[in-house]
Structure formats: structure tokens, C-alpha cells
Amino acid sequence: MRLDKFLQASRLVRRRTLADRLCAHHRVRVNDRVAKASTQVRVGDLIEVDFGGRRVVARVAAVPEEPRTGDPGLVEILERGPSEEPY
């Protein structure tokens, strides 16, 4: 599944357009690499999303066949906290 669709389905990001925008501005990393919206997500991948003021790190627990918004079992949140980017 594409990263932008997965971010929406897992509810890490509310809208797919926002997920696209975050990827375009290099705010999403998959396995410590900057990721495009079209990056394929696999079980076990580590996703880091930097929202500017806060950062969320999650591990992919499952990838659905079809995107269903709001499935809580898709990710395991490892860290939520402030961003490490200097302002």
C-alpha cells in the first residue's frame, strides 16, 4: 500500500492530501529514509512523521488489502513528542 494512503488509513494523518504535502516537504521518513508519498509500506517498517511542533514514531503492524480509515490495529505508536528540528 502507498505511504500516503496508509497514513490516512492508520489515522496518523487525517487527510491524504496532508500526507502528500508532508511527504513533499520531507517530513516523513520510513526506516530512516526520507519517503515519497508513493513509497510502499510493509509490515515492520518504522514510520516517523514530523508535524513541525511534534513528532510521531510508529511501527507498521499490519497492511490492509483495501484502505479502511480508522483501523487502530495498523500501527504501534512507539514515540510521541516534540520535534527535534531547530526553529
In Å, what is the CA distance from 51 to each residue of 20, 43, 44, 55?
13, 23, 22, 6
> Among 20, 9, 82, 17, which Cα is nearest to 52's?
82
CA distances to 45, 74, 76 from 42, rounded to whole Å, are 6, 11, 13
Whole-prediction pTM: 0.87
Question: Is 3-82 assigned to CATH 3.10.290.10?
Answer: yes
Tell me the pLDDT band of 87, cut-offs 50, 70 and 90.
Answer: very low
C-alpha grid cell, residue 23: 511527504
Residue 53 near residue 41, CB atoms below 8 Å:
no
12-61 confidence digits (pLDDT tens): 999 999 999 999 999 999 999 999 999 999 999 999 999 988 999 999 99
Q: Domain locations in the chain?
A: 3-82
Q: What is the pLDDT of residue 7?
A: 94
23, containing H or E segment: helix 16-24
Q: Return the SS3 of 41.
A: coil
Whether the per-residue pLDDT at 70 is higher than 80: the answer is no
Q: How confident is the model at residue 68, as a pLDDT?
A: 72
